[in-house]
Amino acid sequence: MNLDDIDLHLIAILQVDASIAVDELARRVGLTKTPCWRRLQRLEKSGIIKGKVALLNAQMLDLSVSVFVQVKTSHHSRDWLENFSKVVSAFPEVVDFYRMSGEYDYLLRVIVKDIAAYDDFYKRFIEATSLTDVTSSFAMEEIKRSTQLPLPIPDS
């Protein structure tokens, strides 16, 4: 799908605040309400806009420990990967999950309340999977975290 400058501007605004009213969004990109709404529908239908969410404050919800878990495995079949993906994805503590190149095969970001909660997760995780090595690194401080993609926004 080809995106023009207005499409890019629309999605850039929505990345910052998806709750913005269509009237205000239309005004900010120089459209009237109906053409703006149609563009939004097209962007959603195409899959460029995957969904709209509320970003929660993990600290206020007592989920302040972020753990990066690197996983090695000696299994590399499609069936194993499909099963492993289902098992890992079923853990609500896993908020990000990647297949990697390099020394480790997978990288997970796990969010938990405290070290004891991570230990509980870890025990359930290794029981449910077949792995060669698991290395966990605890984030000491979150310096930057963003949900915004670096879009090529034209000068407005």
Asked, for residue 38, whether it belongs to a domain, the answer is yes
- The per-residue pLDDT for 11 is 96
pTM, to two decimals: 0.88
pLDDT by residue (tens digit) across 13-28?
Answer: 999 999 999 999 999 9
Does the structure show a pLDDT above 90 at 110?
A: yes
Report, in this order, helix, strand and coil percent for the chain, each rounded to 5. 40, 15, 45
Does the structure show a pLDDT above 70 at 156?
A: no
Torsion sign across C-alpha atoms 126, 99, 145, 23: negative
Nearest Cα residue to 22 out of 30, 13, 33: 33
CATH code at 16?
Answer: 1.10.10.10
Do 42 and 69 belong to one domain? Answer: no
Give the number of domains in the chain. 2
Do 129 and 86 belong to one domain? Answer: yes
Q: What is the mean pLDDT of residues 44-73?
A: 96
How far is residue 85 CA from its own chain's centroid? 16
155 Rama sector, left if φ>0, alpha if ψ -120 to 50, beta otherwise: beta
- The per-residue pLDDT for 155 is 67
- Name the one residue in this structure whose structure tokens are 């853990």: 91
Asked, for residue 56, whether it belongs to a domain, the answer is no
Q: How far apart are CA 6 and CA 156, in angstroms?
A: 10
Percent of the chain with pLDDT over 70: 98
Nearest Cα residue to 125 out of 140, 142, 106: 106
Q: What is the mean pLDDT of residues 84-91?
A: 97
